[in-house]
Structure 1
Amino acid sequence: MTRAAIVHAHGPFVGARPFRAQDRRHFLGRRSETEELVRSWSRHRLTVLHGDNGVGKTSLVRAGAVPALTDRGSTVLPQGELRFDPVFPAAILPGQNPYSRALLALWSPSEFPTHGPGTSISDYLRTHESTDRQGLPRPVFAVLDQTELLLRRSAAPEPVRRDFLDELFTAVEHRTDLHLLLTVRTQHLDELRRLVEKREVDHAEVRLTPFAPGTATDAAARALALAGSRTAARDADRLVHQARTARDAGAQPCPPKDTVEPALLQFLGQALWEQASASGTALVPDAESEVDRLLTERLSGVLSEVADEHLVPPEVPYAWLRAVAEAGPRGVGRPACEDPDSELTPGVVHALEDRHLVTANRDGSAYLLRHPRLAGPLAALSPFARGPSSASGPDPLEAARAAHTRGETALAAEHARRGLGRAAANPRERALLTALLGDLAFERGDHLAAAGHYADAARQREAVGDGAAVSRLLVAEARNRLMAGERSAGLTGVAAAESRVHADPSLRAGIGQVLWLAGQGSSALDVLEGAMVGGGGITEARRTRGEIRAEQRGTSGQGRN
């Protein structure tokens, strides 16, 4: 299929997701913003890109700045969302910050899980540095997207989140080759500033704002023309008019907005394009009620997705979002969504915020409707109607991993259990879901339950011949057996793992720690030395080796006394 055919097949709009590097041809209207971001990112060790939710920060990075840097030969580390991964069980190297491990898995997916786990961010950069023809360090460009997820109130332990940011900022201070870009919502900018100002690092801020109407119209017209539209200019003008239209929950017209929100433009544009393609009609219907009907249908699908991800009835997000729309500029206060006994959990509210349906007011005391254009379609929404969403619901493993990363452990466990109950789950997925249950049990201190889950996952992996995964699970099980007082079973497990492990320095670091936990310091030192030679897990291996040697020196000194 030619590029033109691909463009036509997928349409000119990406919908609710961000633009990616492969979408750069359709990423229009942000040329000056891209140039400004590339300039700041190149000149400063730390750059903060901020703006409201849905303004297009992720798209600007992935489809704008990153391709521009790679075009000129710069080294840009991969980007994406942080996710905890049960492929490397948490019980192997529990001393490493889980967000650091997730970041290194993102930066270097080809090395995970054999080399990245157990290595600090600074050590990773040191072992991956390169030089130019003059022998000078080549700049490395890295991104931490959606930093607000680490700053906002959530179920994830705050000390763990703050320790991760501290480790990341320490790397920026010490690694002169690192150019780090953080994206964050403006409502969390002051909090991020307080963390940055404690550091001696050159930094800059770049603000991203919505489109001016003329810019939005030009970008939409060019995208439509690329997709083969013969009425691109007229359709773009009508599309932007719809995006600027505002009505309150009572269907009363409001003055049109003087800016155009990129997320709404893409959401509305994709919905209209898909309907027009299917029916052979004009992109924007003449009747505004038809546009409202289509938006109502799409919003129903979004709320169904949120409900499925958080395992609540669809009427839960619907009722709250309807209340937000009806409240108008007053908004709905935070206490309404922070009742621990309510099905309307902070996670549900955050999901609606992340989908650009609501936003916090200036002082963060209340939530407002993000796009006044959606007030009317929301008023027509039925809590029992399900729009176009995945018929089978969210992928259980991805939903469980996402909930685990957010700190919503009970939700993660329930997704994992439901995934294991599905007949369609393949052996690898079942093993990962079981290992994730082991991680959750380990984190809450239920070591016997964790050991049982890891043992089950190891048997599932063994059945499909994945020996490397079996070794990791055996080490995770062994640590938990030891911590539960089952020393013999723990030693048997770690011995079985040690006989299997080969080119896996991160796992060797974990084996060394488990041997030390079992009181076998000398054997642990031998294993840790091998881990450090392999180049992975070096930080945890080095730290553990130092602690063992200090312990041995202390024991030796006591003996002489």
Structure 2
Amino acid sequence: MTGRDQRTLEPYVGLRAFRRQDSGKFFGRAREAHEVCDLWRSNQITVLSGPSGAGKTSLLNAGVMPLLDPSQNDILPVGRVSVTSTSPREALPEHNPHVYALLSSWSPGERPSRLASLTLERFFLRRPPRQDRYGDPVLRLASIDQAEELFLGNHRRTPYHEWFLDQLFAALSKDPDLRVLISIRNDQAGAILRDERLHDVMTKGRFTLGALEPPAATQAITGPLTGTGYSFDDAAAQRLIDDLSGDGTARESKAIEPVQLQVVCTVLWDSLPPDVTHITTDHVIRYANVRKSLEKFVDQTIAEVARDHLDDDTTRLRAWLLDNFVADSAKTPVYRGETMTAGIPNDVVAALVDHHILTPRPGVTGDDSQWYELSHESLVRLIRAEAGDVVVDKRTAQQLLHTAQHALREGDFARARRDARDALDRTDSSRLKAEIESFLGDVAFQDGRYATAIDHYREAAALFDVHGRTESVGRLLAASGRARRALGQTRRAIQDIKSAIQRVPDDQGIRIELAWTYWYGGHEDNALGTLDRVLDDDANSWPALRTRAEILLHLDRTDEALIDFGRLGSIREPWVRAAYAYALASRGDIDEARNEITAVRATTAEHGPALLYAALVEQKAGNLTGAADLAAAAMSAKAPPLPAHLHRLAERVADGQ
């Protein structure tokens, strides 16, 4: 290499997390990586916790995963519990979004409709066990990164995270060779560690990741240049450590935030003259101005959060931080309310935590999830300073799509639409435009704007068709069919779904969607015939059995419905369990039915069909007042709402009929 302008070397990753392929430039965490690796293999469940920005994702990707021998372990890809796929959600059968997201990341090549129909336990039962050369089973190593996403955000997600944990602990109890590593922020770790179901797990481990001590931080600064032809003078590296720690007189006791180290090192590297290969103290002083680097980082972050959450009101956000988190030139904690914190919605607080501006504070009341403070003392000065230059939104279309997906998970439809539309304007890629249009279809569908959803789905299908993405076109047509079904356009819905089946004939999920549509349109025989053909191909198809059981139940063929429910095995899905309870009540087993409903009511507060089944159980029990109240709740439920044909049944129950 003869000059910096002739190469693409990037030794520092900046604000993003290290990836698996970055392991060659991941330094300063060797001890932690080996300890976490040993805990993971030794315990059925291991909880890796730490504050936001400590580098948990980087440690897992670039530190721990490279230590595992694939010949001695069955290693799944690093998993996430938030969906980032742009496959249309409305083409999938009803599912737990956290489970579906995790299985999609663990098994990225699997058909989405198949994954949506699986529980965690069924996923591992389908995964062939592996043996070592001696015939002994090898350990299954599964990881869940950023697991705090289970517990943050819209309250409508609460039933899903409870059901997710139920599935996780069930899978662990059934498979003694399964090892699960959960990486989670400190303030949410208690939700896992205090769970009573954890006591049934044979072994458990805990590792807390903190900031970098100066010797480790020095490795993180100098190590990535090893073998590149570039190097740090020892005094230069120490000067950078001193600047980052903020106090050269007591540097051995000063831990350094990895995110700040990466910000400053990236700025230094990008600012060096092309002919510099040995970095000296003079270069650090001249180009690695810690204060200016962090000021720019803070300005950009505040602008981005304000743009996403406060209609671009950066002044208001900076003033709120200053008024509430700074007192007498020192940082001060603020109590987090149920939905608002000091007059600002909690989704803004969550965004500031994600961007390493705020952090949960432990030790105030013993519950560190209730108090927040600035993540670093230096931010007091940076928050007090006036913003520098106007920050231009330089996010790429892909980054904007990511923030839009996050907004949709939070139930913020307006922000999801805005960011997705901005993403459309920032790309010339027709394939990415297709993914964004598909996403906009999901936003519109979940917002009850079904006609708009159809327009987006069909636009996405046309774009994917140009690229020969036949399966994607099929799923989008199926999603369009579901939206037409919601509008009562049964005939056109059937046409769309049949067109989808022509493109993806072996997709069970789309064929089952056709059965639902037949049933919703009053064509019960066609619905049952479609399901029978699916079950002829796969006698144990869980979603087909579940769908047929529910249809048979509404046709008063209770005994046949119970046979199909029985073939499902252990029923953990709350909405299916509610239907099963109604089947029991229809057979006369009122007490057992009520027990089933009681077990699922806490997780079905806004689930229209599940509430209707609860109402029907109470009606069978002779409690007409309770049945009417539950039916009314079912009609107003939004997650999901009642389909039209069940809405009519709910009206009759609410009227005491």
Scaled by the length of structure 1, the TM-score of the pair is 0.84
For the residues of structure 1 that align with 2:526 and 2:97, how far apart are their CA atoms?
Answer: 27
Check 1:429–1:11 CA distance in 2 against 1; reply closer, same or farther (3 A cut).
closer
8 A Cα contact 2:140 2:178, kept in partner: yes
Paired letter, 1:34: A
Contact 1:12 1:224 (C-alpha < 8 Å) held by counterparts: yes
Preserved CA contact (<8 Å) 1:92 1:476: yes
Distance of 2:560 and 2:284 partners within structure 1: 85
Q: Does 1:105 align with 2:101?
A: no
Q: CA deviation at 1:27?
A: 1.7
C-alpha distance in structure 2 between counterparts of 1:106 and 1:129, whole Å = 18
Residue of structure 2 equivalent to 1:368: 373
Residue 270 (structure 2) aligns with: 274
Between Structure 1 and Structure 2, whose CA radius of gyration is higher? 2
Could you tell me how far 1:72 is from its partner in structure 2? 5.4
Q: Does 1:242 align with 2:246?
A: no
Determine if the alignment matches structure 1 residue 262 to structure 2 residue 258: yes
Match of 1:355 in 2: 355
Q: 1:261 to 1:457 in 2, by over 3 A?
A: closer
Compared with structure 1, are the counterparts of its residues 163 and 446 closer, same or farther at alpha carbon in structure 2 (3 Å cutoff)?
farther
Is this contact kept in 1: 2:233–2:280, CA < 8 A? Answer: no
Identify the residue that residue 188 of structure 2 maps to in structure 1.
Answer: 188
Counterpart of 1:454, as a letter, is Y
Partner of 2:487: 484
Match of 2:520 among 504, 517, 522: 517
Residue 178 of structure 2: aligned partner: 178
SS at match of 1:116: helix
**Structure 1 residues 510 and 170: CA distance shift in structure 2, 3 A:** farther
Cα distance in 2, alignment partners of residues 214 and 81 from structure 1: 32
Q: 401, 404, 416: which is aligned to 1:400?
A: 404
- Provide the residue aligned with 2:217 in structure 1: 216
Q: Which amino acid aligns with 2:505?
A: H
Q: Residues of 2 paired with 1:423 and 1:9: CA distance? A: 24
Distance change >3 Å, CA 406–CA 70, structure 1 → 2 = farther
SS in 1 for 2:200: coil
Any unmatched runs of 5+ in structure 1?
Answer: 248-252
Per-residue CA shift, 1:198-233, capped at 9, x if unaligned?
551132212222232233234433334454444442
Matched residue, 2:588 = none
Give the direction of change, closer, same or farther, for the CA distance of 1:358–1:438 in structure 2 (3 Å limit).
Answer: same
The Cα shift of 1:179 comes to 1.4
Question: Which residue does the alignment assign to 2:12?
Answer: 13
Select which of 547, 552, 556 maps to 1:544.
547
The residue that corresponds to 1:144 in the other structure is 144
Q: In the superposition, relative to structure 1, how do residues 436 and 130 fare at CA in structure 2: closer, same or farther (>3 Å)?
A: same
Deviates more, 1:7-16 or 1:99-108: 7-16
Q: Distance in 1 between matches of 2:6 and 2:238?
A: 21
Higher RCO (C-alpha 8 Å, min separation 6): 1
Matched, 1:416 2:420: yes
1:535 CA drift (Å): 7.4
Deviates more, 1:371-380 or 1:54-63: 371-380
Distance in 2 (CA, whole Å) between partners of 1:502 and 1:356 is: 47
Q: How many angstroms does 1:125 deviate by?
A: 1.9
Alignment identity in percent? 28
Distance change (3 Å), C-alpha of 1:453 and 1:34: same
**C-alpha spacing 1:235/1:86, structure 2 compared with 1 (3 Å):** closer
CA deviation vs aligned residue, 1:383-412 (integer Å, no higher than 9, x gap): 65327x626676443332222234333311
Counterpart CA distance in 2 for 1:97 and 1:336 is 24
The answer for the alignment partner of 2:340 in structure 1 is: 338
Amino acid at match of 1:173: S
**Closer/same/farther in 2, CA of residues 27 and 153 from structure 1, 3 Å limit:** same
CA distance in 1, matches of 2:247, 2:325: 12
Q: Which residue of 2 aligns with 1:433?
A: 436
Deviation at 1:44, TM superposition (A): 1.4
Q: Which amino acid aligns with 1:416?
A: A
SS at match of 2:207: strand
- 1:368 and 1:312 map into 2 onto residues whose CA distance is 23
Matched, 1:470 2:473: yes
Is the alpha carbon distance of 1:448 and 1:298 closer, same or farther for their aligned partners in structure 2, counting shifts above 3 Å? closer
Within 5 Å, give how 1:8-87 maps onto structure 2: 9-70=8-69, 73-79=72-78, 81-84=80-83, 87=86
Deviation readout 1:502-524 (Å, 9 max, x if unpaired): 23233333333333433444544
Amino acid in structure 2 at the alignment position of 1:109 = P
Q: Structure 1 counterpart of 2:405, which letter? A: R
Query: For structure 2, which runs of at least 5 residues remain unmatched after alignment?
Result: 363-367, 562-657
- Matched to 2:212, the amino acid is F
Q: Give the whole-Å Cα distance in 2 for the aligned partners of 1:382 and 1:336.
A: 30
Report the Cα distance in structure 2 between the residues aligned to 1:391 and 1:168, rounded to whole angstroms: 36
* Higher mean displacement: 66-75 or 455-464: 455-464
- Aligned CA distance change for structure 1 residues 87 and 533 (closer, same or farther; 3 Å): farther
Offset of residue 332 of structure 1: 3.8
Structure 1 residues 395 and 14, CA gap change in structure 2 (3 angstroms)? closer
* Number of residue pairs the alignment of both structures matches: 548
SS in 2 for 1:14: coil
TM-score, scaled to structure 2: 0.73
Deviation at 1:306, TM superposition (A): 3.4
2: CA distance, partners of 1:405 / 1:393: 19
Q: 1:440 to 1:353 in 2, by over 3 A?
A: same
State the 1:49 CA deviation. 0.6
Does residue 386 (structure 1) correspond to residue 391 (structure 2)? The answer is yes
Change (3 A) 1:294 1:126: same
Which secondary structure state, in structure 1, belongs to the residue aligned with residue 91 of structure 2?
coil
Contact 1:34 1:60 in 2 (8 A): yes
The residue aligned with 1:507 is: 510
Change in CA separation of 1:391 and 1:497 when aligned onto 2, cut-off 3 Å: closer
In the TM superposition, what is the alpha-carbon distance from 1:359 to its structure 2 partner? 0.6
Check conservation: 1:221, 1:232, Cα contact below 8 A.
no
Give the Cα–Cα distance (whole angstroms) in 2 for the partners of residues 10 and 188 of structure 1. 37
